[in-house]
Each structure stands twice: as C-alpha cells, then as structure tokens.
Amino acid sequence: MKFGFKQRYLPLLVLAGSLTVGAIAPSSAEEAPKWVPGEQYPRELLKNFPCHDYDLPCGKMTSPPVERVEFKGPLKGDAERGEKIATNLRWGNCIACHALPKHEGGSIGPSLKGYAHREMPLDYTYQRLWDVRFYNPNAFMPVYGPNKVLTDQDIQDVMAFLYTK
C-alpha cells in the first residue's frame, strides 16, 4: 500500500488545522473585558494579579517589582480631572484613606489638605503615586503605576489637583 504525499500527511494536516483553530478560537474569544475607570473592575481581569487560590495560576503569582520612576516635569495636569480621579470610589479613590483639599476623607493615610503649601518636590510626589514602595515597602497604598490603576496622565492630573494653592 502506497500513500501519496497528501494521504500520508492528511492526518497531520487535519491535526495542524485543528490546532490552528484551537489557537485562534481562544484569541477571538479572548476579547478581554476592559476596565472603564469609574466603573466596576471586571472580575476576569483580577486573574492577572496574585490571588489566594492554590490551584489557579494567580495563586502562584508574585507582586510586581518595585518601579523607580523619575519625573522631570514640567507638570502638565488637569486639576479638575485630578479631583475626580482622587474622589471617585472606582478610580483613584485617594479619599478612602486621605483627607483631601476641599474634601473630608479617611484617616488611614496622612491628611493631604494644604499639600501644595508643603512644597514637596514633584519627583517625590510622582514616585509616591506611581509606586509608593520605593519609599516605604510596607505602605498601604495601592501600587497605582505598576498595576495600571492610574496612567501617567492620571497621576499628573491628581498632582495638579494636590498642588493647587
């Protein structure tokens, strides 16, 4: 019995074909939910961060490495947008832990009322907002930058809000 090229490789072709389909199918279904800041964070996306489970891959993930960032300025932020970010429960939510200019808030973090008058260097504030662990590894603040809670522009907007005298 002799098989031509096609017959001989047909099973392989079928296999390869089904593999391709298999590879394509998830990616087309992969249309990962996107987080719209200000709305509830999609649960599926939480699988990308360390979790408590023993069987899921997220159970073996580790925290992102500390990111040192430098801010050279000048500060280009929209203070009004920054205020929205800082006070929105499902966005920056700074208000949960900090009292803010023009707003009462939580008492876990230090009050940021009158922050502008403290004349803190921009670079310092930017680093604290991007990844607080650079200054305090045991801090309770979210790692806004490395885990993409806030973007570079978001942080500049929050800074513009904090630095408004």
SS3 track for 16-83: HHHHHHHHHHHHHHCCCCCCCCCCCCCHHHHHHCCCCCCCCHHHHCCCCCCCCCCCCCCCCCCHHHHH
Short-list 74, 98, 76, 77, CA closest to 86: 98
**Does 5 sit near other proteins (CB under 8 A)?**
no
Under rule CB under 8 A, which residues in 72-101 are in contact with other proteins?
95-97
101 or 105: CB nearest other proteins? 105
Single residue of 58, 69, 120, 122 touching other proteins by CB under 8 A? 58
- Binder to other proteins among 2, 6, 34, 52 (CB under 8 A)? 52
Q: Determine, following the binding rule CB under 8 A, whether residue 63 of this chain makes contact with other proteins.
A: yes
Region near other proteins per CB under 8 A, out of 7-15, 25-33, 61-69, 121-129: 61-69
Residue 61 as a binder of other proteins (CB under 8 A): the answer is: yes
Q: Which residue has the tokens 């800082």?
A: 86
Looking at 8-16, 45-53, 116-124, 156-164, which segment touches other proteins (CB under 8 A)? Answer: 45-53
Gap between the terminal Cα atoms of the chain: 89
Among 129, 143, 158, 160, binds other proteins (CB under 8 A): 143
DSSP-derived 3-state class of residue 1: coil
Q: Does 34 bind other proteins (CB under 8 A)?
A: no
In which element (H, E) is residue 125 found?
helix 122-130
Task: Give residues in contact with other proteins (CB under 8 A).
Answer: 41, 43, 45-47, 49-54, 56, 58-64, 95-97, 105-108, 138, 140, 142-143, 146-147, 149
